[in-house]
């Protein structure tokens, strides 16, 4: 497409699309999507998310993954950004800054370490929503805390029985929409 792009130190990418179809002089709008995914395989399924393709299955009108997470958490947002970037010259759009952030799922590193000097837009549309056809105003937010507590180590009594505790078989879900489901 020949569009200008830039990347910051943590891997966030911004692609700049000029306005078109009469929107050339409008205020720039940033559209944002994250490009990482939750990588989980079902018990007994061997899957290397760095090398193995996601195996898709059709379940009625739904496309699902066979034995793993689908990896489409914010794929629709990224696809929407790509569609906007390749929209024709007659499509009325303002200048766009398409921001693709990294590491949303495991720490929001892309958001926290974003080099804001890459951006000029005063309006941002975050395309990571839960409900089709719904615009959400607000944010669930996120944060990291580091807690350091003094630890006093002692040898275990000779009569102590070592235990290994494993928690598994819980139902998955997304903290944004399934938090009320008490899924652990």
Give CA angle at 120 (117, 122), nearest 5°: 125
Taking the C-alpha atoms of residue 62 and residue 85, their distance in angstroms, rounded to an integer, is 27
Close Cβ partners of 156 (under 8 Å, ≥ 6 residues apart): 162
Give CA angle at 182 (130, 175), nearest 5°: 30
What burial class does residue 54 get, using C-beta atoms within 10 Å of its C-beta: 0-12 exposed, 13-18 middle, 19+ buried? Answer: middle
**Assigned token pair, 119:** 């951006």
* DSSP letter (8 states) at residue 178: S
State the catalytic residues.
36, 104
């Amino acid at each position: 497409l020949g569009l200008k792009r830039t990347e910051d130190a943590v891997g966030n990418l911004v692609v700049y699309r000029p306005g078109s179809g009469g929107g050339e002089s409008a205020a720039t709008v940033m559209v944002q999507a994250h490009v990482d995914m939750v990588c989980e395989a079902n018990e007994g399924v061997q899957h290397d998310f760095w090398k193995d393709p996601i195996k898709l299955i059709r379940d009625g009108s739904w496309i699902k993954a066979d034995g793993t997470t689908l990896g489409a958490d914010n794929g629709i947002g990224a696809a929407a950004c790509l569609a906007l970037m390749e929209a024709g010259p007659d499509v009325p759009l303002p200048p766009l800054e398409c921001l693709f952030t990294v590491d949303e799922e495991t720490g929001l590193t892309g958001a926290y370490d974003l080099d804001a000097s890459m951006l000029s837009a005063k309006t941002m549309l975050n395309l990571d929503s839960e409900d089709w056809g719904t615009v959400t105003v607000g944010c669930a937010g996120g944060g990291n805390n580091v807690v350091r507590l003094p630890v006093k180590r002692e040898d275990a009594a000779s009569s102590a029985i070592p235990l290994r505790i494993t928690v598994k078989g819980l139902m998955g879900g997304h903290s944004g929409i399934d938090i009320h489901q008490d899924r652990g």
